[in-house]
A and B are shown apart, each in its own frame.
Chain A
Amino acid sequence: MLEKTGIPTSDDINLVVPDKKRLESGPVAVIECFREIPCDPCFYSCPFEAIKEFDDINDKPKLDFVKCTGCKSCIAKCPGLAIFVVDYNKSTVSIPYELLPLPKKGDILEGLNREGKKVCNALVVSIKDPEKNDKTAVITIKVPQEYLMEVRNIKVGDQNGR
């Protein structure tokens, strides 16, 4: 299914999401990488070594949910922009973002699902300066808790009007 649509199914997602207890205990990374491709920068990006070292560069990344603190260091380092951090207590999700215009803290935007469809509003809580991460911004948005596993993108007004 993923090969036809490019959209992970809920079965795919369930493979990479920790259990409810872990989700509720603090922020944690969700690595939406579902195919074996030769790629390893995520392992090098984690200051807590929560991503297991690759035996084979083609392996899918394995995240230790206990070691993961949800620090967001990995988000901007993944070449596939496939890592997100969810925080169930604050009801936020952090996403990588490489488009213009950048939103501002306090903006209310459209929260888009994996198909690019709006599912809810998203409040911009913080933005990690793209200049600090080789042009990849990390944007943290607050959305209703039931959408934390759905919202993976934002819409910032009309891209062509800049």
Chain B
Amino acid sequence: MIETDILVIGGGPAGMTAALKAADNSAQVIIVEKYHQLGGQLIKQTHRFFGSKKEQAGIRGIEIAKKLTDRIKEHNNIKVLTEATAQGYYEDGILTVSQNNKVIKIKSKKLIIATGASEKMLSFKNNDLPGVYGAGAVQTLMNLYGILPGEKIVMVGAGNIGLIVTYQLLQAGVKVEAVIEASDKIGGYLVHASKIRRAGVPIYTNHSIKRAIGDRSVEAAEIVKLDNNWNEIKGTEKIIKADTICLAVGLRPLTDLLVQAGCEMAYIPELGGDVPLRDDNLKTTNNDIFVAGDTAGIEEATAAMLEGEIAGLKAVSEVGHLKNNIFSELKRLKDELKKLRSGPEGKVISQGIKKARGDSNAGKNRYTHLR
């Protein structure tokens, strides 16, 4: 069995900044990452990041991943386990990890869960055909392995991920026939939408995908217009020839470990679904477990990195290794996060965060059977 001060599950932006913050304050840290490299979703992001220049804005996601990974390598007190999957959290506070077909037991004083999110699926006929992929899969193929995902794409979803991946497809030399969006407006940043519109990619709002067409894999997509009640309008069906249908219809937090550990959860649609209740230091209802990044609520990388720093700092302060007083640093980080969320884009998330702090509107009744 391995013992450590801070155990971080997930080596994405939230996990990495949490680990660095704790390690910079002399804690012994272990990061458990299921992929073969650190970086989480950052390693596929070729675009320049938004947010504050002080928190890496203007730099491409892939560079941010490299910077953080290099900084982690420089720390002797951060041990990184890659191709290691967290299996379960047990009542005695032990977490098991599977790596190389072996089971490792880890006991830590504090646990930070930063396992990110997974893509939502959409229901439509033949959605199981090869050629229907999550947007992340298309990014993985193109940006990690340099493989063309297809020749003609239909992108479903005009949120930030749909718009950004469309742009990345254009950069890879792939034709995007259309971006379709069920709601009546584009959900992502309008500058992302403008980039693809001036490249000639049409965006059809009020449209959904009715079915995928193809024998062994996707050969076309049938789209249909929706009325104001999300119902299909008969007669508006249109078939678009495509070999790939990319789904960018939202993310949901990956919270299995938190549920298993008995952290109190709530269903908060503003944050993407089921999330743990937490205080403003990102501590869950389990005194030794913290959460950060998309696991805490679907947002974006700058927020994930700030949350990671807050969780890492608070966790290490409770382990008793601190070099300095953390109050002012914690306040600074929380203020930055508040500022980031203070615009119209952050309004919905801020409402969700309020609920996640345990107010009466949080959807907690889903979980009563677990207690």
Contact = CB atoms under 8 A, between A and B. Distances in A.
Interface of A: 2-8, 32-41, 43-45, 56-58, 77-82, 98-100, 112-117, 134-136, 152-153, 159-160, 162
29 contacts: A5-B197, A6-B186, A6-B193, A6-B194, A7-B194, A32-B194, A33-B191, A34-B190, A35-B189, A36-B343, A37-B189, A38-B51, A38-B339, A39-B57, A41-B58, A56-B339, A57-B343, A79-B47, A79-B58, A80-B50, A82-B194, A100-B171, A112-B199, A112-B200, A115-B198, A115-B200, A134-B48, A136-B48, A162-B173
B83 interface: no
A44 B205 CA distance: 35
A99 B172 CA distance: 8
A89 B249 CA distance: 46
B173 A100 contact: yes
B257 interface: no
A42 to B, nearest CB: 9
A37 B199 CA distance: 23
Given A4-B205, A116-B199, A153-B199, A56 B342 contact: yes
B191 A80 contact: yes
B346 interface: yes
Binding site of A, secondary structure by majority: helix, strand, loop or mixed?
Answer: loop
Contacts of B196: 6
B184 A4 contact: yes
Contacts of A134: 48, 59-60, 63
Given A56-B342, A57-B340, A114-B197, 17 more contacts: A4-B186, A6-B197, A6-B203, A38-B345, A40-B53, A41-B58, A57-B52, A58-B339, A78-B191, A79-B191, A99-B170, A100-B171, A112-B198, A115-B200, A116-B200, A153-B198, A160-B175
Nearest to A77: B58
Contacts of B184: 4
A114 B196 CA distance: 9
Interface residues of B, number: 44
B267 interface: no
Contacts of A136: 48
A41 B58 CA distance: 6
Interface in B145-195: 151, 170-171, 173, 175, 184-186, 189-195
Nearest to A7: B197
A114 B199 contact: no
B302 interface: yes
B191 to A, nearest CB: 3
B235 interface: no
Contact of A37 (B170, B194, B200, B345): B345
B333 to A, nearest CB: 15
A3 B185 contact: yes
A2 B48 CA distance: 22
B343 A56 contact: yes
B290 interface: no
Contact of A81 (B151, B185, B191): B191
Contacts of B53: 40-41, 43-44
Contact of B52 (A38, A80, A98): A38
